[in-house]
Amino acid sequence: MTGVTEKLAVFASDLEYEDLPAAVIERTKMLILDITGIMVRARHDVESTASLIRAVSRLELTGGSCSVLGDSATYTPSAAALINGTLAHSLDFDDTHAEGSLHSSAPIVPAALAAAEISSASGRDLITAVVAGFEIQIRLSMALNPAEHYERGFHPTATCGVFGAAAATSKLLGLGAADIQSAFGIALSQAAGSMEFLADGAWTKRSHVGQAAQNGLMCAFMAGEGFKGVKDAFEGRRGFFNSYAPNPVPDKAVVDLGETWETLRLALKPYPSCRYSHAAMQALITIREEHSLDWSNIEEVDIGLPEAGWNLIGDPLKDKRQPRSVVDGQFSMPFCAAVVLREGNMYWDDYKKHLDDHDTLALCRKINVTVDPRAQAEFPANMAGLARVKSEGQSFEKFVAMPKGEPDNFMSQEEIRAKFDGLCQPYLGEEGSNKLAAAILALEEANSVSTFMALSRS
């Protein structure tokens, strides 16, 4: 299909706040609230953050006009986008899109926040720009066929996210369609993100999402100043579709664009781990509660996942049963299962508590992970999961097709606030957390986003 790049550029350029359905506006505010809580917590409480901040300081990227959530210092726009984007993905607690198999807010909201601060944009401007970025990033991943994109070693959150970040930034800068098309063409050379972090628990999954935010911002600024990018970034012979996946379906990038809103198909996470683990975790929590299971009496646990999930969090099983780092734990179905069997839930602080816990790791070794036909049949519409627990001579089974947080099983505003408060209150206090949440939930009324950014500082 020809003209994909141009059509996406025109969509981003022409989109207005008044074009957005009320449901899209409300959902976008919830997504911004969710990712803000994650960034605030990650600024203070993630092992990779200190080295990133030191590197940015050594590069003399501090003292600029932009903010990092949860931080009293100021940074240059590109550094703010890099840091906020990395923070947003550091807990693996951020929103997901099942069919696109990616996270949207983490690369896009940070780029938009930096651009909004520079341009003194309103809350309405920010919402509109973020939606433009969401729609483009998600559709690009769907067009690639994300399973095949993953198979080539790429992480679509970052590879597609740089284009979403460029779109959101371009929108806030007021660029026309031709310049946005050029921004996409520049971003083509920045589309990166390797899944090799799974081999050794490296922190790069976090940083390449931050780099997608940073690079998307820079690409939009370059295009806005007249720097020319290739015209057919997506459909060109050496473009994104043909270079990054073997069997792309370009039509998926533009079909029903502006009529069907993929933003409404974004899900929120109740647990800070890979989304593929959530259905099985929910099933285990239900079994634990319904049958008053004592984890110490569990003999064996069988978890069934769709193949895409098994590839990420179930294989190789020997390694997944013995996580050594937070990243390992985030992508270990046995570890996540063991935590919820012991605690009845899972919170960010459980990584510190359980990664070196002898009993938790012993329970991990009792947990098997396989591809389940029912879960596979639900995919990609749902990231389903099966849990079967054997304890004291009895067997209990639960299948969850649609985990909590998915669009048709969405978290309530109260549940989202509870998650937000749990992340923010340790550093902002109850009053500070309430003020920050209230500002975001009334974002469409704000003349400037700087107010809510300032409220994130402890």
Q: Determine the Cα–Cα distance for residues 271 and 346; give it in Å rounded to an integer.
A: 6
Q: Determine the Cα–Cα distance for residues 323 and 28; give it in Å rounded to an integer.
A: 34
CB 296 within 8 A of CB 332: no
Query: One-letter amino acid identity for 372?
Result: D
pLDDT of residue 451: 86
Go through the domains of the chain in sequence order and give each one's CATH number.
4-270+435-454 (1.10.4100.10), 275-403 (3.30.1330.120)
Q: What is the pTM assigned to this prediction?
A: 0.92
The residue whose two tokens read 């986008």 is 81
- In sign, the C-alpha dihedral spanning 374, 375, 380, 384 is positive
Q: Determine the Cα–Cα distance for residues 320 and 317; give it in Å rounded to an integer.
A: 5
pLDDT of residue 1: 61
In the structure encoding, which two tokens stand for residue 338, read together? Answer: 């063991």
SS3 for the chain, per residue? CCCHHHHHHHHHHHCCHHHCCHHHHHHHHHHHHHHHHHHHHHHHHCCCHHHHHHHHHHCCCEEEEEECCCCCCEECHHHHHHHHHHHHHHCCCCCEECCCCECCHHHHHHHHHHHHHHHCCCHHHHHHHHHHHHHHHHHHHHHHCHHHHHHCCECHHHHCHHHHHHHHHHHHHCCCHHHHHHHHHHHHHHCCCEHHHHHCCCCHHHHHHHHHHHHHHHHHHHHHCCCCCCCCCCCCCCCHHHHHCCCCCHHHHCCCCCCCCHHHHEECCCCCCCHHHHHHHHHHHHHHHHCCCCHHHEEEEEEEECHHHHHHHCCCHHHHCCCCCHHHHHCCHHHHHHHHHHHCCCCCCHHHHHCCCHHHHHHHCCEEEEECHHHHHHCCCCCCEEEEEEECCEEEEEEECCCCCCHHHCCCHHHHHHHHHHHHHHHHHHHHHHHHHHHHHCHHHCCCCHHHHHCCCC
pLDDT of residue 100: 95
**CA-based R_g, the chain, Å:** 21
- Write the CA distances from 292 to 65, 330, 344, integer angstroms: 54, 26, 11
pLDDT < 50: residue spans in the chain: none
pLDDT of residue 381: 85
CB 458 within 8 A of CB 427: yes
Beta bridge pairs of residue 67? 74
Query: One-letter amino acid identity for 73?
Result: A
- Which residues make Cβ contacts (< 8 Å) with residue 79, sequence separation at least 6? 56, 59, 61, 62, 64, 66, 214
Q: Determine the Cα–Cα distance for residues 235 and 342; give it in Å rounded to an integer.
A: 50
pLDDT of residue 413: 92
